[in-house]
Structure 1
Amino acid sequence: MPIEHVDAAADLAPLELKSTTEAIERHRTLLESTFGPTIIAEHGARDCDLGASCCTHCHLHLIPVPDPDAVVAAYREVGGAGQRLSGMDDLPAAATGAYLYLSIRPNEHLIWGARGFPRQFVRRVTARLHGIGDQYDWRDHPFHEAQQDTLRILRTAAVRPAA
């Protein structure tokens, strides 16, 4: 999440998007080494159009999931095939309005227009995959203890020497 206000990752300057991509992939690698397959998702708000977003400030979600392909299937069920991108750096050209970005693996990137997707879509899908489908809204279900456990586990993993 950038400190300076930007609506969506697609609005980042090319060098910022490049450094964001590098950082997010490092974080994905850390999460995958600890929690398993991890997706990257964004509900990109654009020009005051929230689309499926709940926030008009760029933020990317890294979410460990038991079945990344099931996430893509859920997106396709609502929005069709989506558009393949070669990487996050293709977002500015591909995003013509509010959008949903999804990467289920480091070299698999997809984008959909936000029309038809409900708010917090990625949370709804991943919560269902984790068996807590009705607890997707972090405001109602903050899972404070799980947050603290995750932070502790990741801090330990971040200082662990690479194999």
Structure 2
Amino acid sequence: MRVGACPGKEARRAAITFGTLLTGYDGDGHTRCVSDLQEIRDAVRQFIAERDWQQFQDPKSLLLALVGEVGELAELVQWLPAEEARSRIAKEPLHTRVAEEMADVLIYLVGMADQCNIDLHEAALAKVERNSRKYPVSEFLGEAPHRG
């Protein structure tokens, strides 16, 4: 989890970073920000510690929990016609159910990153950069990549 992803600090990154939190000012009057992912990580660490569940927090167990939660998310939309999915998810009660399952997915993903000592923020930005080279606009504008 990365500290210092402040809006305005790096315009390019700020444009694709979806979560930062203003946490105050340092001694020199500079804005301090912390990644939303770090806040989630810290909240989950506290939740786990309060229940003495550390012994259940290993990469394999978290991955299996993550897969289960992705399945629960998929189950909510699996039989919806593709052209209706967005509008149906925008309405209750499905909107809340999807948000809850997405939160579970994110929590387990952040927990797995924590257990594996992976900076998820940096890994995601690096992956977007690699994909931008792999799928240049000049070749993929309006075209889905094909596996073949």
Q: What TM-score, normalized by structure 2, do the two folds share?
A: 0.30
Bigger helix share: 2
Q: What TM-score, normalized by structure 1, do the two folds share?
A: 0.28
Bigger strand share: 1
